[in-house]
Amino acid sequence: MTVPINVVGATEDHSIHFHQYHLAVQGRIRYRKICELEDREVSQEEIGKGYELTKTQVIPITDEDLSNLPLPTAKAIEIDAFVPLASIDPIRIAEGYYLQPSSPVGAKPYKLLVQALGRSAKVAVARYAWSGRERLGLLRVRGDVLVLHAMRWPDEIRDPSELLPPPVRVSDEEIEGALAFMDTLTVDRLEGPDFRDRYTEAIAQIIEAKREERPLPEAPDPEQPAQVLDLMAALQESVSKVKAARGEAEVHELPKPKKAAAQKQPAKRAAAKKTTAKKTTGRRPRSAY
């Protein structure tokens, strides 16, 4: 099954970007592309790709060369397998792109793949060529649209073992306290006023204040970090703050550590209780083929 598609960016950048200026005269600082041999600035039309074979020999590579690679994925997104999403480590998943049918002819196979993936609760693992290399991708369904996520190859993920802290002992009571703290911060969806880009909003306030020549907004006083001697007490304080902020009157105390030993009683002991079909092709990203 072949699905002709176009690739569209799935995310938008709303960050505030800055330019560099000569502060004395407010002239824009720009970077120019200079040819080392001719010692002059060259235009974009004069610039091409090349592989440096030796210091004196460069092999030119054109866009046409890249579009005609002897590779099945050069002009297609080729599905290799279908796997459960939970089997993929999220650290391997990168930016996402929407896939749309590139022609009316592709509408039916596109819809077929969307519904098949939706019912199977699986994702497709695919290969495709992009930016001068073959990449691994993840195909999933979002609503009624196919989404392609770029994926990192296994050898691109660093081994985190060298970053592990020294061995420490964590008690069951401390784990239960941490779980109770997690419960106070659990939400159904990552939406609402708590999930917004406050940094960009603060930058916008500074820009607006300077434009209107009024005092800059004052930064709130940061909370003084206290030395944490008792992890359970720190978790209890955090839970109390969260519940107070949410207007919850009742605050349950976290489990307290059990006493090391209890005095033996002469009473009798209580009895213990047991407790796309494979090799499906689409179109190359950024254009329809």
Q: CATH number of the domain that 92 lies in?
A: 2.40.290.10
Q: For 219-246, write each residue's pLDDT tens digit.
A: 777 665 555 445 566 667 777 776 676 6
Phi/psi-derived region of residue 213, left when phi > 0, alpha when psi is between -120 and 50, beta in every other case: left
Confidence tier at 27 by pLDDT (50, 70, 90) = very high
Q: Per residue in 255-282, is it b (16+ CB within 10 Å) or e — as a string?
A: beeeeeeeeeeeeeeeeeeeebeeebbb
Average pLDDT over the chain, rounded to an integer: 76
Nearest of 23, 13, 48 to residue 33 by alpha carbon = 48
Averaged pLDDT for residues 25-54: 91
Residue 139 inside a domain? The answer is: yes
Q: For the whole prediction, is pTM greater than 0.75?
A: no
Residue 11 inside a domain? The answer is: yes
- Look up the domain containing 119 and give its range: 5-15+49-156
Residue 10 inside a domain? The answer is: yes
Residue 110 inside a domain? The answer is: yes
Residue 28 inside a domain? The answer is: no
Partners of 256 in beta bridges: none
d(CA 8, CA 278): 24
pLDDT at 61 over 60: yes
Residue 283 inside a domain? The answer is: no
* pLDDT for residue 260: 44
* pLDDT for residue 274: 37
68 compared with 22, residue with greater pLDDT: 22
Residue 70 inside a domain? The answer is: yes
Confidence tier at 106 by pLDDT (50, 70, 90) = confident
How many separate domains does the chain show? 1
Helix axes 231-245, 172-184, angle to 10 degrees: 20
d(CA 76, CA 63): 16
Residue 178 inside a domain? The answer is: no
pLDDT at 74 over 70: no
